[in-house]
Amino acid sequence: MGGPAYGFRDHEKHPFANERCEASGTGHAHHDDPSATRRNTHPKKGVGMSKVEESVEVEVPVRAAYDQWTQFETFPRFMDGVERIDQRTDTLTHWVTEIGGVRREFDAVVTEQIPDERVAWTTVEGEARQAGVVTFHRLDERRTKVMLQMDFAPDGLTEQVGDKLGFVKRKVTGDLKRFKSFIEERGGQETGAWRGSV
């Protein structure tokens, strides 16, 4: 999942693009960009699709963890391989990534967002096929469990082998651990927030 290249309006611009994946049921798409509906090629679970599920406990309140996740301009600071994210509309983003020497660009759309609970996305156009959901679970006043579930389609022999060897799982685990360090080192002070619903 890219250095930031967009500006949130007073940190309240809608972030990443998300939709429920298979593990979270089916959901309706919400688009500010009518053309996004025509381009929606949400990957269906099936032949060629893989799944990864990982979680991490962070020592911050659920609101702080959720609010920080909505600030996609910070993703390159803890997500390996994410170079840039351009905000196109409130729900549509353009991603530039380079992972394992493979550079890709794709659009993703937020399809469901519930404050302090979940953010779901799907890719709609470009060189990657994936859909997922991040959920936030209150453990107590100061601790939150962040869970990520993602369906994705490995492209080509190298990525298929890497998937079988657990490369994506390790990457997601690393990204979540870096997110934990990022928000905890700030003392639970998020860099911004978007509290709207999709």
Domains of the chain in sequence order: 9-185 (3.30.530.20)
Of residues 9 and 68, more confidence is placed in 68
Does residue 20 carry a pLDDT above 60? no
State what percent of residues in the chain have pLDDT above 90: 43
Torsion of CA 101, 72, 115, 10, to 10 degrees: -170
- DSSP single-letter state for residue 74: G
Confidence of residue 165 (pLDDT cuts 50, 70, 90): low
Q: Rounded mean pLDDT of 29-42?
A: 40
Does residue 158 carry a pLDDT above 80? no
Run of H or E residues at 43:
none
Q: What's the confidence (pLDDT) of residue 71? A: 87
Residue type for 35, please?
S
Handedness of CA 10, 16, 17, 19 (dihedral sign): negative
CA separation for the pair 21, 104 (Å, rounded): 21
> In this structure, are residues 132 and 43 in contact, taking their beta carbons and an 8 Å threshold?
no
Of residues 115 and 86, more confidence is placed in 115
Does residue 5 carry a pLDDT above 60? no
Of residues 115 and 45, more confidence is placed in 115
Does residue 33 carry a pLDDT above 50? no
Q: Rounded mean pLDDT of 78-97?
A: 88
CA separation for the pair 125, 123 (Å, rounded): 6
142: left (phi over 0), alpha (psi -120 to 50) or beta: alpha
In this structure, the number of other CB atoms found within 10 A of the CB of residue 11 comes to 16
Q: Residue 147: what are its φ and ψ, rounded to 5°?
A: -115, 135
Whole-number mean pLDDT of the chain?
77
Tokens of 109: 């759309």
- Closest to 16 in 3D by CA, of 91, 124, 81: 91
- Closest to 3 in 3D by CA, of 106, 110, 69, 75: 75
CA separation for the pair 108, 133 (Å, rounded): 12
Q: Rounded mean pLDDT of 34-63?
A: 70
Q: Which of 69-73, 159-163, 179-183 has the lowest mean pLDDT?
A: 159-163
pTM, rounded to two decimals: 0.73
